[in-house]
Structure 1
Amino acid sequence: MTDEVLFRREGVAGIVSLNRPKAIHALTLDMCRAMIGQLTEWADDDAVKVVLIEHAEGRGFCSGGDINLLRQSALNDGGEAGRQFFFEEYRLNHQLFTYDKPIVAFMDGITMGGGVGISQPAKYRVATENTRYAMPETGIGLFPDVGGGWYLSRLDGRVGQFLALTGARFDGAECLWAGLATHHLPAEALADAKSRIAAGHEIGGVLAALSTKAPEPKVAANAGAIRRHFAFDTLEQVLASLEADANENGSEWAAKELATLRTKSPQACKVSLRQLEDSLTLETFAQNMAMEYRIGSRVLVLPDFAEGVRAVIVDKDQSPKWHPAAPEGVTEEMLDAIFAPLAPEEDWKPL
């Protein structure tokens, strides 16, 4: 057991409390395994009627996965430890998605990457004025995994493609607008909400009673532009659409998003678009997670991941040298190899 995630019982609630404040509660392998074990135990405990997922302290819910472990694995062991982490993390994601008891996730503060993976499966997803929600993986040569293919591809108006490619950050109101959150509560009301739910009050009623009217979502003003420019399933078409709007119509928004996309890994962007497109053809979340495990196994050891983490997190020079450097250098054959099936004994399987 690890003290990086804490478990407790209050009334009818089993409470999962992430406890790595210095790392903004980023998930480790031990944390994933501990949560899997506790959730399995609570699933068979009739006294536990609901599971609450929160963070113990600090400024964020969960900033993602253990990026340093993944980079060290990519550099030193051919990705073996990284694949093990993905395998267990995705099992946790699937367990939450298929859990028989209601789950309430409190997305108060930074909710990114792995934090999305443990909050999106919840029936009730609570955003606050502090929420900063993003899938920023294309900036480090990865892709929106932990179920991102499933969730983002199913958002209306191509908002998922916009989030996946740009890594845009949504606040709580924008999460509610997009359907990524089910409720918007003031942060000061969270303790009361948890207490009432643990006391056995009906979850939806508690959250509705404590909800406040969210501010106008800023992203809504650009919904039409997102739908139009991100309607394409190829990166080149997205870039061309934004460029034309910026140059011919003087769109400042298009120019800003175009500049953002040009800082991202072309490989990661193309992987992400195919991932979202393919996910829509899948019938089950387990199939999606198996697909993402295959992608992750390959992308982890390609040059862009280690380089992206170096530039953004290690050296912080924000100047990654992507390989290939341009979208046209990422061929369909390269993508086919990333998405190809694994041998049956190597493939991901749920619990």
Structure 2
Amino acid sequence: MERIAAQRWVISSRDACCLRQQTELIQSQRSDPLCLCFDLRFANLRFPRKSGVPSVAKTHARRVNVFTSSASFPLFAMASLFPQYSAVSSNFVSLFPDVGGGYFLPRLQGKLGLFLALTGFRLKGRDVLRAGVASHFVDSQKITALEKDLVNLKSPSFEDVTGVLESYQTQSSVDKDKPFILEQHMDAINRLFEADSVEGIIDNLEQDGSSFAQKQAETLSKMSPTSMKLTFRQLRAGAGMSLKDVLVMEYRLTQSCMRGQDFYEGVRAVLIDKDHSPVWSPSTLEGVTEAYLDDCFRPLGEQDLRL
């Protein structure tokens, strides 16, 4: 059993500033390959794996995505938030859903994963289960007892662990009868986010005319054009990849983000100056060329990640 104490993973504006000063070091160390190796090893374990995310309060839990991707039983509690990002979507600081996001997001129902990835829409508690990100939901106050019962299993099988988790889920009554927060919008999400490009999605939103579509169009207008296009291609490619190949792809994208300017501009606008007015370069989707995107996804030769 792997318990992720998400509240212990914190990134501050000072940490982000240091990234700018240490770009060469980050690139030379291949963007935390040890952690990515750990992620893959966790995914390949042959015994039941439960990852628990009890809560997130203004934290950045880098490992949550891959634990969600690969755990046999990704478990979320009432206070859990998804995506696990503090105050802002990855696209608003010119990143992308990393650490396995390109693997599990395109495997959610319909276009839900793409919607979450591009807009940064936050899911909380039981809605994470209803979205298909979690396998089980347990009230926060029952987490300690649940972990004790799981640890006390003498020779846990998948059936044993499933039985314990389902027992606790049955006892959890918070928001039990409340519908999925996006239920009434799923048809619109599947229709509006069904496009061959980010530009196509925005055209769909602008032409739709509904208040929901207008709100999403406004949200996307604030995001990094580069980040949105990287995310769109990442999820399309990841839908047909293994987790290992997705982690390698995301490593390459991380390196491209570190070489560019938008990530640092996003961090400045959100965490340092806090003016929330980033100046993206390029500033339009049209300015992000296919040649540039091809370069971001290209293998790195001797510098590529090996898992």
TM-score by length of 1: 0.77
- Whole-Å separation in 2 of the counterparts to 1:274 and 1:71: 28
Give the 3 Å change call, closer, same or farther, for CA 162–245 of structure 1 in structure 2: same
Give the 3 Å change call, closer, same or farther, for CA 185–179 of structure 1 in structure 2: same
- The C-alpha deviation readout for 1:144-191, integer Å capped at 9, x for no partner, is 110110111111111110011011111122211121001111001101
- Whole-Å separation in 1 of the counterparts to 2:98 and 2:39: 10
Partner of 1:320: 278
Partner of 1:337: 295
- Whole-Å separation in 1 of the counterparts to 2:10 and 2:182: 23
- Whole-Å separation in 1 of the counterparts to 2:115 and 2:298: 25
- Whole-Å separation in 2 of the counterparts to 1:289 and 1:277: 14
The answer to whether residue 51 in structure 2 is matched with residue 94 in structure 1 is no
Partner of 1:166: 119
- Whole-Å separation in 2 of the counterparts to 1:287 and 1:53: 25
Partner of 2:180: 217
Displacement of 1:71 in angstroms is 4.7
Give the 3 Å change call, closer, same or farther, for CA 320–228 of structure 1 in structure 2: same
Aligned match for 2:235, one of 276, 284, 309: 276
Give the 3 Å change call, closer, same or farther, for CA 293–160 of structure 1 in structure 2: same
Contact 1:145 1:292 in 2 (8 A): yes
The answer to whether residue 259 in structure 2 is matched with residue 310 in structure 1 is no
Give the 3 Å change call, closer, same or farther, for CA 52–76 of structure 1 in structure 2: closer
The answer to whether residue 215 in structure 2 is matched with residue 256 in structure 1 is yes
Bigger RCO (CA 8 Å, 6+ sep): 2
Q: State the one-letter code of the partner of 1:106.
A: G
- Whole-Å separation in 2 of the counterparts to 1:168 and 1:333: 29
Displacement of 1:116 in angstroms is 2.4
Partner of 1:230: 193
Partner of 2:62: 114
Q: Higher strand fraction: Structure 1 or Structure 2? A: 1
Query: Where in structure 2 are there 5+ consecutive unaligned residues?
Result: none
The answer to whether residue 224 in structure 2 is matched with residue 265 in structure 1 is yes
Partner of 1:293: 251
Aligned match for 2:83, one of 110, 134, 140: 134
Cα RMSD (Å): 2.1
4+ runs deviating over 4 angstroms: 60-71
Give the 3 Å change call, closer, same or farther, for CA 230–156 of structure 1 in structure 2: same
Q: Percent identity?
A: 29
- Whole-Å separation in 2 of the counterparts to 1:338 and 1:331: 11
TM-score by length of 2: 0.87
Partner of 1:243: 206
Give the 3 Å change call, closer, same or farther, for CA 82–333 of structure 1 in structure 2: same
The answer to whether residue 72 in structure 2 is matched with residue 123 in structure 1 is yes
Displacement of 1:332 in angstroms is 0.6
Q: State the one-letter code of the partner of 1:332.
A: E
- Whole-Å separation in 2 of the counterparts to 1:265 and 1:185: 36
Deviates more, 1:113-122 or 1:77-86: 77-86
- Whole-Å separation in 2 of the counterparts to 1:108 and 1:195: 15
Query: Where in structure 1 are there 5+ consecutive unaligned residues?
Result: 1-50
